[in-house]
Structure 1
């Protein structure tokens, strides 16, 4: 108050306060009314996609804030337990998205990874609550900790029984690529959200807070730059029939709004020769465990790919980052083998599938069948692709399916 009473400082303070007000108002406008790269009159799910873009972007900011405030300074990888920032971010993202979508589309259920059972047994509920309320939209009714826990449970495994009929529902992966989140590097993590209507994925949004412009490099090259800035990432969207698009995040820095980048249409690459293609595989699997290893060796050296080799990109960490790689043309193929002792979760693939399809690519199981999101008739949480999942630019799809088939019969 002393400063405000000082005539010598009054003009400067008024200038600062005015610009802070403008910045705050502009930031809210960017969050609520972010435009999409196609007409609202034509796109059937425009409002749903607009809401999804807004809430995924805020969820990504939540992740960045949690990571910067809670991650140990030595950057060590932590297990997912009651002392890790990934716990706060996972639950916080799910609660935030569940709360916001529940306000706008209360009749649409949510299928998501977490429930609050673990959180209720720890001392982190307050931390999650604070993270969520910092990013939630304002309402007349204040959000309580009970509201946050209930919002998490709306996406839990026991939240909704679908039955055998097609249904409309959201599919959410709060953080795909947990190891990428807890590393103090550029290893990737993604917030992924999709809307399924009567069995068809109609929109998808993926937010990657630490996405880099050139991801066709090795992991070591990607990790050379360590200056993760809030809002420096990319958001990828898809709407059925209207393509896949990306733009840089909008954000506020030093009290001033930074406008989002322009939307850019995404297309898969044009590679039509398997040995010239760029491949991604899960971090938990090796090239030797995949059928194509019988025909090609793998190398991560882009400058030294031989005739009997393929280029394997070392992109960490989750499946959705690989979908982003193929949809943006930075990779040609993502191939995943189904394991006997682990299940394949719908949220690891749903949003990636529509982004690939709308970018001109293809996603099937290893026999060429479409991935059935309704195979888990009760809760829509598990998919059962025969052999595994194959994601390509479309040109290579039939060739690789034939190679998989031939290798399986040898």
Structure 2
């Protein structure tokens, strides 16, 4: 396996770093003749990560294809009981990934967001096989069939619905012991999915082995590849292509490449990966913050010490922080911090909000392998086994804090006395 070093990358890493810091490796671009950016003997779960990358990329293609049809077919958009928009793409992605992972790794269960109960009840199905002429189920079936790798068993509506349920609530029962399972968010930021090409959404998949997150893959079809970070003087033309895939493996770093590369598959396997890192800001007032789109800065404990602005062109004093435009979904914020485009993502837990594991698992390993840190507001690691029976809910004390690492203890100290209501 040959390691090639290119002196000039089309996507220089230096655009991810603040002006005051330029790592010595920022002008190099390592390319390895492999489908992943590191050697198999360096990654214990290399095969699992290869499979995850492949299926997440196909799932993102499914999203793009479905979204094109949504532009002229508003009746394909449904509302779940919690008022979160859900589309054929959500069900299609979960079915596709469930089908492919169960073929490759039949002994590893799946914990995912959706189940077929909503689809069945809103489709008027009397039985699993009663789908002739049924618009919703046929649409999901068509979307999935085009992206599967094939099987000896025919792909029917029943097979697709069962695949969705494989990751749904009550699909698997855990005990208090550390467990091994996949965690999937079929589309994190569905409102972003529905808004248009400028809004971000993420397909997120992680593998937990004996209670520890060992790998993660995030696909973001709308990520603008060439947009420089706020405050960085590099104002080169924005790359017209969009979409990245981000991967992380324990001990191997966090990496990205274009999601839908124009190169053929053989050339793409020879490279395209770039290692990414969190930014290096160490002063809170210099940091770039993300908060949930459903919360305001005034709800955050730091608002007692800092005001906020969304204007990155104005000079800020030491009492004002930059608040980046909100993206739908938590994983979009994790991706933004892991890539160095934001410094902090802070989420406040509220009594009426249930925090789901799939909104955080894949993001956590991408942050950690990029040099950042993820904890609750007391500094404790997120407890993936807090929901001992199903591994679907986490209970972070105070909320979730995601940072570049350098700012973590400072912000923890600031929020430590904040009471959650």
The correspondence for 2:309, drawn from 299, 302, 319, is 299
Task: Report the Cα distance in structure 1 between the residues aligned to 2:202 and 2:155, rounded to whole angstroms.
Answer: 26
Between the aligned partners of 1:257 and 1:166, the Cα distance in structure 2 is 38
Q: Residue deviations 1:330-357, cap 9 Å, x none?
A: 0000000001111000000000000000
1:128 to 1:39, Cα distance in 2 relative to 1, 3 A? same
| SS of the residue 2:337 aligns to | helix
Match of 2:150 in 1: 138
148 and 285 in structure 1: CA distance in 2 versus 1, 3 angstrom threshold: same
Is 1:212 aligned to 2:224, yes or no?
yes
Greater fraction of residues in helix: 1
Structure 2 residues without counterparts, runs of 5 or longer: 1-32, 124-134, 232-237
Hey, what does 2:367 align to over in structure 1? 356
TM-score, normalised with respect to structure 1: 0.84
Deviations 1:62-97 (A, max 9, x none): 000000012338x99966369x99420000000000
1:283 maps to 2:297? no
CA 1:149 to 1:77, structure 2 compared with 1: closer, same or farther past 3 Å? closer
Distance 2:284 2:76 in 1: 35
2:98 aligned with 1:98: yes
Which residue matches 1:326? 337
2:181 matches 1:169: yes
Q: Does 1:41 align with 2:41?
A: yes
Cα distance in 1 between the residues matched to 2:78 and 2:40: 44
Q: State how far apart, in whole Å, the 2-side matches of 1:142 and 1:234 are.
A: 32
Q: Which residue does the alignment assign to 1:310?
A: 321
How far apart are residue 394 of structure 1 and its match?
0.3
Equivalent pairs, count = 364
From 346, 350, 355, the counterpart of 1:339: 350
Query: Could you tell me how far 1:408 is from its partner in structure 2?
Result: 4.8
Gapped regions of structure 1 (runs ≥ 5): 1-32, 219-224
Counterpart CA distance in 2 for 1:64 and 1:161 is: 34
Larger of the two Rg values belongs to structure: 1
C-alpha contact 2:76 2:136 (8 A) present in aligned 1: no
Matching residue of 1:115: 115
SS at match of 1:94: helix
Q: For 1:67 and 1:301, locate their aligned partners in 2 and report how far apart those are by CA, in whole Å.
A: 31
SS in 2 for 1:341: coil
Deviation, 1:164, is 1.0
Q: What is residue 89 of structure 1 aligned with on the other side? A: 89
Q: How far apart, in 1, do the equivalents of 2:52 and 2:371 lie?
A: 22
Shift of 1:249: 1.7
Task: Assess if the C-alpha contact under 8 Å between 2:70 and 2:76 holds in 1.
Answer: no
Task: Measure, in 2, the Cα distance between the counterparts of 1:287 and 1:262.
Answer: 38
Match of 2:192 in 1: 180
* Aligned-residue CA RMSD (Å): 2.6
Q: Offset of 1:42 from its aligned partner?
A: 2.3
How many Å apart are 1:148 and its aligned residue? 0.6
Query: Separation in 2 of the partners of 1:79 and 1:174?
Result: 15
* 1:17-32 aligned within 5 A: none
* Aligned 8 A contact 1:34 1:50 in 2: no
In the superposition, relative to structure 1, how do residues 215 and 72 fare at CA in structure 2: closer, same or farther (>3 Å)?
Answer: farther
Q: Look up the match of 1:267.
A: 277
